[in-house]
Amino acid sequence: MTTSNPRPKGAQLIGSVPLESVEVVMTTLSNALGQHIERLPDGELGNRAVWIAWQRAVFNKLEGKFEDVDPAPDAYVQRPRLHAKYGVTAADIDLGPLGYAEAAIESYAVFKRLKDEGKIPTHVRFQVGLPAPLEPAIGHFETDTHTLMGPIYEKALMGELDQILDAIPNNELAIQWEFVYQLAILEDAYDTIMKDPWSEIPARLAALTDAVPEPAQVGYHFCYGDSGHKHFKQPADMGIMVRVANGIVSGVHRQVTWMHMPVPRDRNDDAYFAPLKDLKLSEGTDVFLGLIHNTDGLEGAQARVTAATKSCSSFGVATECGLSRRPADTVPGLLKIHTQLADPR
């Protein structure tokens, strides 16, 4: 469907921002984008900067339970994966705190103080990014260990979610579920033990929406990876993402607030965006297209916006992924592009 107004509305921040403190992240983002955004992350600083990599420390505490397996030469992420030693069962494994709740609660205290001081607009919520529970199990463990570790990690992460929901006022909170490896499975780019991934993955993701009670917001970050500034696979178009999104919304019992989908830098062609014509989101679910790239700036992003508007009548803008792998001095320019491309919310 074609729109008469090609200008996007609003912006979405993915999570990681390479600045020196939570306060600096929040004030910088708020000053630059306060009227364009509805949610504000804490920047995912320190050991959280590279998505789920920091969870390896949680697994390393389980001495004697796992052994390292070197990655294949062509593996997307070049780090050893873990394989359960013979005889290890779920009863042998206690992950302990994962760290997500602790980080969120600490950062919310900064968010609240800044909001009370008038440095964050009153309408803006605190955003917490969490991996879909299968992601760390798939990313850190050999395929034959997923059956063991998937349920264990899911139970631990949902416990962290409960702590976040208990500690942070739900009308101030937004949860972003993030997934890479499950997209890779659907793209036939990653091994899996699932018998029917196209049934199982959307259903699992939909259940995560229902795990977040209203009035908290809930959204999704679809990700093709950014390891070494490369995707695990270049998407042919947005077809798989649209199919997953439709599967999620058809299986939920509450509103999905937003969905963020990436756009590779070299895709400003109509064909990439054409599947968006089949997107079946309910009213009130916003779409954000991750079409801002540092390497081609405003001009490149505008070309992608022009192509996208031929297939999607309403969307906001974002970068393709978090910013932690980018130099800090690129952040102001990237934020400015958001406001140059899109109208305020």
pLDDT digits (tens, 9 = 90+) for 113-144: 999 999 999 999 999 999 999 999 999 999 88
Between the CA of residue 263 and those of 125, 134, 196, 225, what are the distances in Å? Answer: 25, 24, 27, 12
Per-residue pLDDT band at 5 (split at 50, 70, 90): low
Query: pLDDT tens, 136-184?
Result: 999 999 988 999 999 999 999 999 999 999 999 999 999 999 999 999 9
With 90 as the cut, is the pLDDT of residue 334 above it? yes
CA dihedral 319, 224, 241, 308 (to 10 degrees): 40
- In 3D space, the residue among 120, 125, 230, 109 whose CA is nearest the CA of residue 172 turns out to be 125
Q: Which residues pair with 218 in a beta bridge?
A: 175
Residue 242 tokens read as: 């649209």
Report the amino acid identity of residue 287.
V
* Helix, strand or coil, per DSSP, at residue 69: strand
Average per-residue pLDDT for the chain? 94
Give the chain's radius of gyration (CA, Å).
19
Furthest CA-CA distance within the chain:
63
Q: Which CATH architecture is the domain 22-341 placed in? A: Alpha-Beta Barrel (3.20)
* Helix, strand or coil, per DSSP, at residue 289: strand
By CB atoms closer than 10 A (0-12, 13-18, 19+), residue 211 is: middle
Q: How far apart are CA 92 and CA 88, in angstroms?
A: 6
The pTM (predicted TM-score) of the whole model is: 0.95
Q: How far apart are CA 248 and CA 28, in angstroms?
A: 33
Domains of the chain, residue spans: 22-341
